[in-house]
Amino acid sequence: MKASVIANKDYTIAKIDDRVYGAFLEHLGRAVYEGIYEPDHPSADKNGMRGDVIDLVKKLNVPVVRYPGGNFVSAYNWEDGIGPREERPVRLDLAWHTSESNAVGVHEFADWCDSVGTEMMLAVNLGSRGVDDARNFLEYVNHPGGSYWSDLRIKNGRKEPWNVKMWCLGNEMDGPWQVGHKDADEYGKLAANTARAMRMFDSSLELIVCGSSNSDMPSYPDWERIVLEHTYDHVDHISLHMYFANRDDNTPNYLGLSEKLDTYIKTVAATIKQVKAKRKSKKDVYISFDEWNVWYHSNKKDREILDGNSGWPHAPGLLEDIYNFEDVLMVGLILNTFIRRSDVVKIACIAQLVNVIAPIMTEKGGPAWAQTIYY
Protein backbone atom coordinates (compact mmCIF):
# COMPACT_ATOMS: atom_id res chain seq x y z
CA MET A 1 0.00 0.00 0.00
CA LYS A 2 1.26 3.48 -0.90
CA ALA A 3 0.08 6.79 0.49
CA SER A 4 0.93 10.36 -0.37
CA VAL A 5 0.37 13.64 1.41
CA ILE A 6 0.36 17.13 -0.10
CA ALA A 7 0.80 19.95 2.41
CA ASN A 8 -0.10 23.54 1.59
CA LYS A 9 0.66 26.04 4.31
CA ASP A 10 -1.77 28.58 2.81
CA TYR A 11 -4.78 26.24 2.91
CA THR A 12 -6.69 25.91 6.19
CA ILE A 13 -10.00 24.33 7.14
CA ALA A 14 -10.60 26.44 10.25
CA LYS A 15 -9.01 27.50 13.49
CA ILE A 16 -9.21 24.63 15.99
CA ASP A 17 -11.40 25.71 18.88
CA ASP A 18 -9.68 24.85 22.19
CA ARG A 19 -13.03 23.66 23.50
CA VAL A 20 -12.81 20.44 21.47
CA TYR A 21 -10.59 19.27 24.35
CA GLY A 22 -13.42 19.68 26.87
CA ALA A 23 -14.72 17.14 29.37
CA PHE A 24 -17.87 16.08 31.19
CA LEU A 25 -18.90 15.32 34.78
CA GLU A 26 -22.26 13.80 35.66
CA HIS A 27 -23.79 12.78 38.97
CA LEU A 28 -23.25 9.15 38.00
CA GLY A 29 -21.32 6.39 39.76
CA ARG A 30 -18.17 7.71 41.44
CA ALA A 31 -17.58 10.64 39.08
CA VAL A 32 -18.51 13.28 41.67
CA TYR A 33 -18.56 11.42 44.99
CA GLU A 34 -15.17 9.71 45.55
CA GLY A 35 -14.12 11.21 42.22
CA ILE A 36 -13.71 14.96 42.53
CA TYR A 37 -15.34 15.19 46.02
CA GLU A 38 -14.14 13.20 49.03
CA PRO A 39 -13.98 15.42 52.14
CA ASP A 40 -12.27 12.74 54.27
CA HIS A 41 -9.46 12.16 51.75
CA PRO A 42 -5.94 13.14 52.91
CA SER A 43 -5.55 15.47 49.91
CA ALA A 44 -8.97 17.16 50.26
CA ASP A 45 -9.06 20.95 50.19
CA LYS A 46 -11.30 23.15 52.37
CA ASN A 47 -14.22 22.44 50.02
CA GLY A 48 -13.79 18.66 50.27
CA MET A 49 -12.38 18.34 46.75
CA ARG A 50 -9.56 15.86 46.18
CA GLY A 51 -6.28 17.67 45.61
CA ASP A 52 -4.70 14.75 43.77
CA VAL A 53 -7.55 14.78 41.24
CA ILE A 54 -7.29 18.55 40.88
CA ASP A 55 -3.59 18.17 40.03
CA LEU A 56 -4.30 15.55 37.36
CA VAL A 57 -7.10 17.62 35.80
CA LYS A 58 -4.88 20.72 35.74
CA LYS A 59 -2.27 18.84 33.72
CA LEU A 60 -4.92 18.00 31.10
CA ASN A 61 -5.65 21.73 30.68
CA VAL A 62 -9.36 21.07 30.11
CA PRO A 63 -10.97 24.30 28.81
CA VAL A 64 -14.61 23.46 29.63
CA VAL A 65 -16.51 20.89 31.71
CA ARG A 66 -20.17 20.03 31.05
CA TYR A 67 -22.34 19.47 34.17
CA PRO A 68 -24.50 18.02 35.85
CA GLY A 69 -25.62 15.57 33.16
CA GLY A 70 -26.15 13.51 31.08
CA ASN A 71 -29.21 11.41 31.76
CA PHE A 72 -29.11 12.62 35.36
CA VAL A 73 -30.14 16.17 34.40
CA SER A 74 -33.49 15.09 32.93
CA ALA A 75 -35.02 14.67 36.38
CA TYR A 76 -32.71 17.00 38.34
CA ASN A 77 -33.96 19.86 40.50
CA TRP A 78 -31.04 22.29 40.60
CA GLU A 79 -32.42 23.89 43.77
CA ASP A 80 -31.68 20.65 45.65
CA GLY A 81 -27.95 21.40 45.36
CA ILE A 82 -27.90 24.88 46.93
CA GLY A 83 -28.03 26.17 50.51
CA PRO A 84 -26.71 24.49 53.68
CA ARG A 85 -25.66 20.90 53.02
CA GLU A 86 -27.50 19.58 56.07
CA GLU A 87 -30.76 20.91 54.63
CA ARG A 88 -30.36 19.46 51.14
CA PRO A 89 -32.72 16.59 50.27
CA VAL A 90 -31.69 13.09 49.27
CA ARG A 91 -33.37 12.20 45.97
CA LEU A 92 -33.75 9.00 43.96
CA ASP A 93 -32.05 9.24 40.58
CA LEU A 94 -34.18 7.35 38.07
CA ALA A 95 -31.57 7.50 35.30
CA TRP A 96 -28.94 5.39 37.08
CA HIS A 97 -31.12 3.79 39.83
CA THR A 98 -29.11 5.34 42.64
CA SER A 99 -29.65 7.85 45.45
CA GLU A 100 -28.33 11.41 45.21
CA SER A 101 -27.19 13.21 48.38
CA ASN A 102 -26.90 16.63 46.69
CA ALA A 103 -23.79 17.33 48.77
CA VAL A 104 -22.33 18.75 45.56
CA GLY A 105 -24.29 21.33 43.60
CA VAL A 106 -23.58 24.33 41.41
CA HIS A 107 -21.64 26.25 44.10
CA GLU A 108 -19.27 23.37 44.79
CA PHE A 109 -18.86 22.58 41.12
CA ALA A 110 -18.12 26.23 40.29
CA ASP A 111 -15.45 26.42 43.02
CA TRP A 112 -13.91 23.20 41.69
CA CYS A 113 -13.84 24.62 38.16
CA ASP A 114 -11.96 27.64 39.51
CA SER A 115 -9.44 25.36 41.22
CA VAL A 116 -8.66 23.42 38.02
CA GLY A 117 -8.83 26.43 35.70
CA THR A 118 -11.80 25.43 33.56
CA GLU A 119 -15.04 27.00 32.37
CA MET A 120 -18.53 25.74 33.29
CA MET A 121 -20.95 24.42 30.67
CA LEU A 122 -24.28 23.93 32.42
CA ALA A 123 -27.29 21.86 31.39
CA VAL A 124 -30.93 22.65 32.15
CA ASN A 125 -33.59 20.02 32.74
CA LEU A 126 -35.99 19.82 29.79
CA GLY A 127 -37.14 16.31 30.69
CA SER A 128 -39.26 16.67 33.82
CA ARG A 129 -39.11 20.50 33.85
CA GLY A 130 -39.11 23.37 31.38
CA VAL A 131 -38.88 27.08 30.61
CA ASP A 132 -39.58 28.45 34.08
CA ASP A 133 -36.94 26.39 35.87
CA ALA A 134 -34.38 27.08 33.15
CA ARG A 135 -34.83 30.85 33.43
CA ASN A 136 -34.70 30.67 37.24
CA PHE A 137 -31.47 28.65 37.15
CA LEU A 138 -29.97 31.15 34.69
CA GLU A 139 -30.95 34.07 36.93
CA TYR A 140 -29.48 32.34 39.98
CA VAL A 141 -26.17 31.71 38.22
CA ASN A 142 -25.72 34.89 36.17
CA HIS A 143 -27.66 37.85 37.62
CA PRO A 144 -25.60 40.31 39.74
CA GLY A 145 -28.24 40.86 42.42
CA GLY A 146 -31.47 42.58 43.33
CA SER A 147 -33.79 39.75 42.25
CA TYR A 148 -35.17 36.76 44.14
CA TRP A 149 -32.88 34.10 42.68
CA SER A 150 -29.72 36.20 42.51
CA ASP A 151 -30.20 37.37 46.09
CA LEU A 152 -30.62 33.75 47.14
CA ARG A 153 -27.25 32.96 45.53
CA ILE A 154 -25.69 35.83 47.48
CA LYS A 155 -27.31 34.54 50.68
CA ASN A 156 -25.80 31.12 49.89
CA GLY A 157 -22.29 32.60 49.86
CA ARG A 158 -21.56 33.73 46.31
CA LYS A 159 -21.76 37.50 45.80
CA GLU A 160 -20.52 37.77 42.21
CA PRO A 161 -22.41 35.99 39.39
CA TRP A 162 -20.57 33.24 37.56
CA ASN A 163 -21.55 34.56 34.11
CA VAL A 164 -21.78 31.11 32.53
CA LYS A 165 -22.04 31.46 28.75
CA MET A 166 -22.59 27.86 27.56
CA TRP A 167 -25.96 26.22 28.31
CA CYS A 168 -27.26 22.84 27.14
CA LEU A 169 -31.01 22.67 26.50
CA GLY A 170 -31.59 19.24 28.01
CA ASN A 171 -29.86 15.96 27.22
CA GLU A 172 -30.50 13.19 24.66
CA MET A 173 -34.19 13.99 24.43
CA ASP A 174 -34.47 11.65 21.42
CA GLY A 175 -33.82 8.65 23.68
CA PRO A 176 -36.74 6.63 25.15
CA TRP A 177 -34.50 5.93 28.17
CA GLN A 178 -34.63 9.63 29.03
CA VAL A 179 -36.97 10.92 31.73
CA GLY A 180 -39.36 13.18 29.81
CA HIS A 181 -38.43 11.76 26.39
CA LYS A 182 -40.08 13.69 23.55
CA ASP A 183 -40.40 13.42 19.81
CA ALA A 184 -38.55 15.92 17.64
CA ASP A 185 -41.47 18.34 17.28
CA GLU A 186 -42.28 18.34 21.00
CA TYR A 187 -38.67 18.84 21.98
CA GLY A 188 -37.99 21.40 19.24
CA LYS A 189 -40.87 23.60 20.39
CA LEU A 190 -39.84 23.35 24.06
CA ALA A 191 -36.18 24.03 23.28
CA ALA A 192 -37.10 27.04 21.12
CA ASN A 193 -39.29 28.53 23.85
CA THR A 194 -36.59 27.91 26.47
CA ALA A 195 -33.93 29.49 24.25
CA ARG A 196 -36.13 32.54 23.63
CA ALA A 197 -36.64 33.04 27.36
CA MET A 198 -32.93 32.63 28.14
CA ARG A 199 -32.00 35.11 25.40
CA MET A 200 -34.43 37.64 26.86
CA PHE A 201 -32.12 37.56 29.87
CA ASP A 202 -28.86 37.60 27.89
CA SER A 203 -28.66 37.58 24.10
CA SER A 204 -24.94 36.69 24.17
CA LEU A 205 -25.40 33.18 25.64
CA GLU A 206 -24.16 30.16 23.69
CA LEU A 207 -27.08 27.72 23.58
CA ILE A 208 -26.75 24.06 22.65
CA VAL A 209 -29.79 22.13 21.44
CA CYS A 210 -30.01 18.32 21.59
CA GLY A 211 -29.15 16.38 18.47
CA SER A 212 -29.08 12.60 18.18
CA SER A 213 -27.81 10.33 20.97
CA ASN A 214 -26.03 8.31 18.28
CA SER A 215 -26.20 7.79 14.54
CA ASP A 216 -28.04 4.45 14.91
CA MET A 217 -31.14 6.08 16.41
CA PRO A 218 -34.27 5.42 14.29
CA SER A 219 -35.07 9.16 14.33
CA TYR A 220 -31.63 10.13 12.92
CA PRO A 221 -31.09 12.33 10.89
CA ASP A 222 -34.68 13.60 10.71
CA TRP A 223 -34.35 14.55 14.38
CA GLU A 224 -31.69 17.14 13.59
CA ARG A 225 -33.67 18.62 10.72
CA ILE A 226 -36.94 18.92 12.67
CA VAL A 227 -35.33 20.25 15.85
CA LEU A 228 -33.27 22.81 13.93
CA GLU A 229 -36.31 23.97 11.97
CA HIS A 230 -37.81 24.94 15.34
CA THR A 231 -34.65 26.31 16.96
CA TYR A 232 -32.21 27.47 14.27
CA ASP A 233 -32.63 31.19 14.92
CA HIS A 234 -32.26 30.77 18.68
CA VAL A 235 -29.31 28.41 19.22
CA ASP A 236 -25.59 28.28 18.42
CA HIS A 237 -24.77 24.56 18.51
CA ILE A 238 -26.43 21.19 18.13
CA SER A 239 -25.10 18.38 20.31
CA LEU A 240 -24.07 14.93 19.09
CA HIS A 241 -23.10 11.89 21.17
CA MET A 242 -21.30 8.68 20.25
CA TYR A 243 -19.56 5.89 22.16
CA PHE A 244 -17.13 3.34 20.74
CA ALA A 245 -16.82 -0.37 21.55
CA ASN A 246 -14.81 -3.42 20.50
CA ARG A 247 -17.10 -6.19 21.72
CA ASP A 248 -16.06 -8.53 18.87
CA ASP A 249 -12.34 -8.09 19.62
CA ASN A 250 -11.72 -7.01 16.04
CA THR A 251 -9.11 -4.27 16.05
CA PRO A 252 -9.42 -3.11 12.40
CA ASN A 253 -13.23 -2.85 12.65
CA TYR A 254 -12.93 -1.11 16.01
CA LEU A 255 -10.51 1.55 14.81
CA GLY A 256 -12.54 1.87 11.62
CA LEU A 257 -15.39 3.33 13.69
CA SER A 258 -13.67 6.70 13.25
CA GLU A 259 -15.00 6.62 9.66
CA LYS A 260 -18.54 6.17 11.03
CA LEU A 261 -17.93 9.19 13.26
CA ASP A 262 -16.73 11.25 10.31
CA THR A 263 -19.85 10.35 8.31
CA TYR A 264 -22.05 11.25 11.30
CA ILE A 265 -20.47 14.72 11.50
CA LYS A 266 -20.68 15.28 7.73
CA THR A 267 -24.35 14.28 7.65
CA VAL A 268 -25.33 16.62 10.47
CA ALA A 269 -23.22 19.41 8.97
CA ALA A 270 -25.17 18.96 5.72
CA THR A 271 -28.46 19.02 7.64
CA ILE A 272 -27.44 22.29 9.29
CA LYS A 273 -26.76 23.77 5.84
CA GLN A 274 -30.10 22.49 4.56
CA VAL A 275 -32.03 24.18 7.38
CA LYS A 276 -29.95 27.36 7.03
CA ALA A 277 -30.85 27.52 3.33
CA LYS A 278 -34.52 26.74 3.96
CA ARG A 279 -34.76 29.53 6.53
CA LYS A 280 -32.77 31.95 4.33
CA SER A 281 -30.62 32.54 7.40
CA LYS A 282 -27.26 34.30 7.54
CA LYS A 283 -26.20 32.77 10.87
CA ASP A 284 -24.25 29.55 11.35
CA VAL A 285 -24.96 26.72 13.78
CA TYR A 286 -22.10 24.45 14.81
CA ILE A 287 -21.70 21.02 16.42
CA SER A 288 -21.04 20.44 20.10
CA PHE A 289 -19.91 16.80 20.36
CA ASP A 290 -20.43 16.86 24.10
CA GLU A 291 -20.39 13.13 24.88
CA TRP A 292 -17.85 10.75 23.40
CA ASN A 293 -15.49 8.03 24.58
CA VAL A 294 -14.70 4.33 24.51
CA TRP A 295 -17.31 2.48 26.59
CA TYR A 296 -17.82 -1.27 26.75
CA HIS A 297 -15.39 -2.93 29.20
CA SER A 298 -17.69 -2.45 32.21
CA ASN A 299 -21.08 -3.22 30.62
CA LYS A 300 -21.62 -6.69 32.08
CA LYS A 301 -20.51 -5.66 35.56
CA ASP A 302 -22.96 -2.75 35.68
CA ARG A 303 -26.10 -4.69 34.83
CA GLU A 304 -27.13 -5.61 38.40
CA ILE A 305 -27.23 -2.00 39.58
CA LEU A 306 -28.73 -0.59 36.40
CA ASP A 307 -31.47 -3.25 36.43
CA GLY A 308 -32.43 -2.15 39.94
CA ASN A 309 -31.37 -5.36 41.69
CA SER A 310 -29.19 -3.56 44.22
CA GLY A 311 -31.71 -1.10 45.64
CA TRP A 312 -30.76 2.59 45.45
CA PRO A 313 -27.06 2.78 46.38
CA HIS A 314 -25.25 6.11 46.71
CA ALA A 315 -22.36 6.59 44.29
CA PRO A 316 -21.72 2.92 43.43
CA GLY A 317 -18.89 2.00 41.09
CA LEU A 318 -20.55 2.25 37.68
CA LEU A 319 -19.13 2.42 34.13
CA GLU A 320 -15.58 1.96 35.40
CA ASP A 321 -13.84 0.88 32.22
CA ILE A 322 -10.16 -0.02 32.50
CA TYR A 323 -8.55 0.98 29.22
CA ASN A 324 -5.80 -0.58 27.11
CA PHE A 325 -3.49 0.71 24.39
CA GLU A 326 -6.00 -0.15 21.65
CA ASP A 327 -8.39 2.31 23.31
CA VAL A 328 -5.69 5.00 23.23
CA LEU A 329 -5.56 4.64 19.44
CA MET A 330 -9.34 4.93 19.23
CA VAL A 331 -9.39 8.08 21.37
CA GLY A 332 -6.64 9.57 19.19
CA LEU A 333 -8.64 8.83 16.04
CA ILE A 334 -11.72 10.51 17.54
CA LEU A 335 -9.80 13.66 18.46
CA ASN A 336 -8.17 13.78 15.04
CA THR A 337 -11.62 13.54 13.44
CA PHE A 338 -12.81 16.54 15.46
CA ILE A 339 -9.71 18.45 14.41
CA ARG A 340 -10.25 17.63 10.72
CA ARG A 341 -13.86 18.79 11.07
CA SER A 342 -12.91 21.95 12.97
CA ASP A 343 -14.97 24.03 10.54
CA VAL A 344 -18.12 22.65 12.17
CA VAL A 345 -17.09 20.93 15.45
CA LYS A 346 -16.41 23.73 17.93
CA ILE A 347 -16.98 21.99 21.29
CA ALA A 348 -16.38 18.39 22.36
CA CYS A 349 -16.50 16.78 25.81
CA ILE A 350 -14.91 13.45 26.65
CA ALA A 351 -17.34 11.51 28.84
CA GLN A 352 -16.37 11.43 31.51
CA LEU A 353 -13.45 12.93 33.43
CA VAL A 354 -13.10 10.89 36.65
CA ASN A 355 -13.90 7.20 37.41
CA VAL A 356 -16.85 6.90 35.00
CA ILE A 357 -15.44 5.81 31.58
CA ALA A 358 -12.68 8.24 32.42
CA PRO A 359 -8.99 9.05 31.93
CA ILE A 360 -8.60 9.56 35.70
CA MET A 361 -9.35 6.89 38.32
CA THR A 362 -9.43 7.09 42.12
CA GLU A 363 -9.45 4.77 45.11
CA LYS A 364 -11.51 5.81 48.13
CA GLY A 365 -9.08 7.11 50.73
CA GLY A 366 -6.22 6.15 48.42
CA PRO A 367 -4.43 7.26 45.27
CA ALA A 368 -5.63 8.80 42.03
CA TRP A 369 -3.99 7.78 38.78
CA ALA A 370 -4.07 8.40 35.03
CA GLN A 371 -5.35 5.68 32.71
CA THR A 372 -3.90 5.04 29.26
CA ILE A 373 -6.38 7.35 27.47
CA TYR A 374 -5.29 10.25 29.74
CA TYR A 375 -2.12 10.49 27.70
The catalytic site residues sit at 172, 291
Which of 350, 314, 298 lies closest to 30, judged by CA? 314
Strands 119-124 and 22-24, bridge-based pairing: unpaired
Exposed (0-12), middle (13-18) or buried (19+): which is 6, by Cβ within 10 Å?
exposed
Q: In this structure, which amino acid lies at residue 169?
A: L
Q: 206 with 237: CB under 8 angstroms? A: yes
Rounded to whole angstroms, how far apart are CA atoms 210 and 141?
Answer: 22
Rounded to whole angstroms, how far apart are CA atoms 129 and 241?
Answer: 22
Q: 184 with 133: CB under 8 angstroms? A: no
Sign of CA dihedral 256, 257, 260, 265: negative
DSSP codes of every residue in 261-319: HHHHHHHHHHHHHHHHHHTT-----EEEEEEEEE--TTHHHHHHHHTTTT-S-BS---S
Which of 161, 40, 38, 53 lies closest to 110, judged by CA? 161
Residue 269 CB partners (closer than 8 Å, separation 6+):
287, 341, 344
Which of 166, 167, 187, 191 lies closest to 175, judged by CA? 187
Sign of CA dihedral 79, 157, 65, 139: positive
Q: How many residues in total does the chain contain?
A: 375
Q: 47 with 108: CB under 8 angstroms? A: yes
Sign of CA dihedral 217, 221, 222, 227: positive
Q: First CA to last CA across the chain, in angstroms?
A: 30
